[in-house]
Every structure is written in structure tokens, then in C-alpha cells.
A and B are shown apart, each in its own frame.
Chain A
Amino acid sequence: MTAPTSIPPPPNNTRRRILGIIAAAPLLLPTMGLTLQNRPATRPIPSSGEPLPLVGLGSWITFNVGNDKAARDASAEVMRNFFQAGGRLIDSSPMYGSAQEVIGYGLKKIGRPAELFAADKVWISGGDEGGNQMEESRRHWGIPRFDLLQVHNLLSWQAHLPTLFAMKASGQLRYVGITTSHGRRHGEMEQIMKAEPLDFIQLTYNLYDREAEQRLLPLALARGIAVIVNRPFQQGDLLRRLARHPLPSWAAEIDCSSWAQFALKFIISHPAVSCAIPATTRVAHVLENVGAATGRLPDKPMRARMAAFADGL
């Protein structure tokens, strides 16, 4: 047997390759279909139509690792896998200790993916210092501009929102939002949603914290405001509570393989929800989380069944 020698390319090579691809298409399609099917589902941001994957990445506690290089590298790996799995939105805040710097470290290490949707917050009393804080946050991330800036916990929102809208008008920012958590200040958030041209709100919504279903989520749908959901697992308490019980067999009907996916699919199947932002330090968990946005999502009767089941545990 002789070693293969260099064979001159046949004439009309390009044409042969194209014909080859067409001939092989029936064989390739299942693979391509599988790949596409495994990308997370998206929902358009109402104010722009831009598609956003239904699962993002939070940074509360998990990315606040200070100057610990090993932990920073682990966070970067979580981010790398998040993007490779099809994720886009990462959310942080100046309140979260070193999380912004760790995100910046991770983005630099993995080469800032073009898909990144950078969401951060302004969290300071009074409007005067807001600009400085947002600029400092941007430097921590190491990005030219944020996609979304939100007023954290409605702190001094009257002072910050005009600044954010001005930044959006001048092209320094793409979207403006407000946040709350733990179900607090929903009444005030509702008033702001009615009065201001917001692109996003962020609030707590999960299998056990469902108050937002009553007024805020319907209002967001009606006003065309995208919704980011924080505390999808109640900082782990929800999963610890569910983990004491076996996953119901009917969870397979919505392609759930874990309680985390069960909890996330419940959230992201609400038509008003644009993105849930679970936080994690583990690659396996971030893949599991993004995986919740693949496969079948529960319809309205199934969502009611999921909530009733969780309430009964």
C-alpha cells in the first residue's frame, strides 16, 4: 500500500463541491436540524423586534469572587459555555461586589462574543453620580456600550430615567429598564410602566412567587415591555424544596430532565417573559439552564398543572 500522493484538484472544483453538498443534503439535514433545535428558543424584544434567547445569565453572588483567579477562570468557563450553548444576555449591577469586574475578566478571556447582550444597572441615590457609576460599570465590563441599563430596585428612578432615555436617544444605549426583586414595590413599578416608555422591566417571578401574573406581566404584554425574570430559583431555596420529591413523569411531555428545567420552563413559557436569568458557578448548570429554552414549552393548561403541582409539594 502506498502513501497517498498529492492529487491535482479536478477541474471545476467549486462546482463539484456544490453538487456534492446538494447530494449530501439529505444526510446532513438531520444533523443541522438537531443543531438548530438545540439552540435556545428566542422571543422578540417588543420595542425593537430583536430576538432574545429565553434564558440568560445572572451574576448575583455567583460572580462575586473578588480577585480569586481560579474562581474568575471558572466564571469565564461558565460564560464561554453559556455563549456556546446559544445564550446572549448577561445581567449584573454595581451592587454585586466584584461581579462586573469578573464579567469583564471573563469577556476578555473568551474574546467578547458578538452575541453578547450586556445588561447592567444604575444603583445610586440621586442622579448626579449616576453617570459616573454607569461609566465605571462599562469600564469593568470592558465594552463600548451597554445594550440595556436598568434602574436598580427603582432607586432614584425619577433622577435616573431621564439620563437613560437621553443616553438611548444619543446612541450610547439601546434599551432602558427598571428593576425590582422579591416582589417588592410592584405598585410603584406599575405606575412607572404606565407613565414611561420603558423597553424592559425586571422582576421576581417563579413557581412560588407568582404575584406578577396578576398585573405586571399582563401590563407588560399590553404596553410592549420586555420582561427579565430574576430569582427564578429563589437563590436555590426553590430547587432545594423541589429536590425532596421526584420529578413527575409528565415533565417529559415538555422535555424536562431536571427540576431546574421544570422551574425555568414554567417561567419562560409565560408569553410576557423575555428572559429568565439564573445564576450559577457551574458549567453543567449553565448548560442545563440554557437547555430549558430548547424542546417543548408548556402551554397554558400545562402551566396551571405545574403551578398546582408545585403548590402541593
Chain B
Amino acid sequence: MTECWSYSLRDLLLFSPRTYYRLFELYNIELWPLQLLFLALGAAILLLWRRRSELAGRALAAIIALCWLWVAWAYLSQRYASINWAANYYALAFALEAVLLLWLGVVRGRLTLAPVGSVRQRIGLGLFVFAWLCFPLIGPLLGRSWPQAEIFGMAPDPTALATLGILLLCGVRPLWWLFPIPVAWCLISGATLWAMDSPDFLVAPLGALLAIGIASSSRVLKSS
């Protein structure tokens, strides 16, 4: 096993950047205009958050769980697995996150919604809006084509970041059970992009580390 550590990330990359981004392109073209529905779901999440009822919290958790299930099946299992055999394991992890969201958020109602009153919640709101509206622009801004845009609810990176944003927004105390999978995904994705020399490789890991850091120190940062 010691020899595993002598491989660089580039040695372990199974596909070319062209193939990786083409996967998003074909996925988006094939499913258009489903992107509009997922963008609308992002708006629905914000509306539910503003209502701040227990039922709205459960509905919000159901929407995010649906997004994780969709990414697990439609992207990771049906598409990414065709070029990366590890993607089936990622799909299982995404499905597990969906189950956790359903259990903690929908069944037990632990995703309590509150107005923005702390630094943690402000950053959570910012992270969610970034993942929802700004993340799809990163690819085109870096010279990739519009069909290669990564959309919240359809692509794993913005879905993971948006979920971390929601987790910072909701609840008095962080729901720690829901953090590990999105954070792990952001780190894996960052490593993959780094191996492909993609200039945006830091976006998802930095977002995840910010979420973890803020969640851990939320008491200290709580505003007056």
C-alpha cells in the first residue's frame, strides 16, 4: 500500500479535461431545459427560508435531498461513471447524503429556519447564492462553453456548496451529520480539477473549508 502514496494526482487521473467538461456539455444539452427547473428550485429554497415555518424547513430539506438524489443518479451514476469507475462510490455517498437530509430535515424537522442574525448565517446565505447563481458562470468566464456550465441541483460542486450554505443558514447549532459528504466531495472535486490544471480548482475546497471553519466557530463569530 505504501506505493500508493508515490503516485501524484495526475498519475491517477483517468480522463482528459476535454472529456470531463464535454460530459457536462452533453448532459446539459440532453436535459435542457431542466436547468431552468433547478434554478427555480434555488429560488424556491430562498422563499421557503423567508417563511421560516417548520413546514417550510421540511420542504426545503426535501428539495435539497431531491437534488442530491438527482446528482447521484443522473450525473454521477449515469454519466460520470462512464469515465471514472470511482463515480459509482460517489453516487452512493450522494444518495446517503440525501437519506440523511430526508431523515434529519424532513422526518425529524431539524432544519430550523431563522432570520439572518449571525455572521454564520450571513456567510451561509452568501455561499448558497454563490453556488446557485455565480457557480454556473465560472466555466464560461474561464473560456469554457455555456453548455458546460455547472448548475445547482444538476452538477455536484454547486449542489454541495449550496447545501453547505443552507446548513450554515439553518438551525441554532450546525447539523454536523450533514457536513462530511459535501465537504469531502468539494475536496475530491478540487483535487480532480487541480490534476487537470483547471484554474478554478480552489473554488469548491475553499467554500467547504469556509463552511467548516464558520460552523466550528459560530459561537465566537455570533454578532451582537
Residues of A within 8 A of B (CB): 61-62, 64-68, 71, 95-98, 182, 184-185, 235, 281
- Whether A96 touches B79, Cβ cut-off 8 Å, given contacts A65-B19, A68-B19, A184-B3, is no
Quick check: A68 and B16 within 8 Å, CB to CB?
no
Whether B26 sits at the interface, judged by CB under 8 Å, is yes
A146 to B22, CA, bound (A): 31
Contact with A along B8-33 (1 / 0, CB 8 A): 00110111100100110010000000
- Whether A98 touches B7, Cβ cut-off 8 Å, given contacts A61-B14, A61-B16, A64-B14, is no
Residue from the list A95, A98, A182, A184 in contact with B83, Cβ < 8 A: A98
Quick check: B14 and A62 within 8 Å, CB to CB?
no
Quick check: B7 and A61 within 8 Å, CB to CB?
no
- Whether A182 touches B84, Cβ cut-off 8 Å, given contacts A65-B19, A71-B22, A97-B14, is no
Quick check: A71 and B19 within 8 Å, CB to CB?
yes
Whether B82 sits at the interface, judged by CB under 8 Å, is yes
Query: CB-nearest residue of chain A relative to B22?
Result: A68
A62 to B13, CA, bound (A): 11
Contacts of A66 in B (CB 8 A): 15, 19, 23, 79, 82-83
Quick check: A67 and B82 within 8 Å, CB to CB?
yes
Contacts of B79 in A (CB 8 A): 66-67
- Whether A96 touches B14, Cβ cut-off 8 Å, given contacts A66-B83, A184-B3, is yes
Interface centre among B3, B15, B85 (most CB of A within 10 A): B15
Of all A-B residue pairs in the complex, the 6 with the closest CB atoms, nearest first, are A66-B82, A66-B83, A97-B83, A97-B14, A64-B15, A64-B83
A61 to B195, CA, bound (A): 13
Contact with A along B168-202 (1 / 0, CB 8 A): 00000000000000000000000000000000000
Shortest distance from the beta carbon of A279 to any chain B beta carbon, whole Å: 10
Whether B6 sits at the interface, judged by CB under 8 Å, is yes
Contacts of B3 in A (CB 8 A): 184-185
Interface centre among A61, A66, A184, A185 (most CB of B within 10 A): A66
Quick check: A98 and B16 within 8 Å, CB to CB?
no
Query: CB-nearest residue of chain B relative to A183?
Result: B6
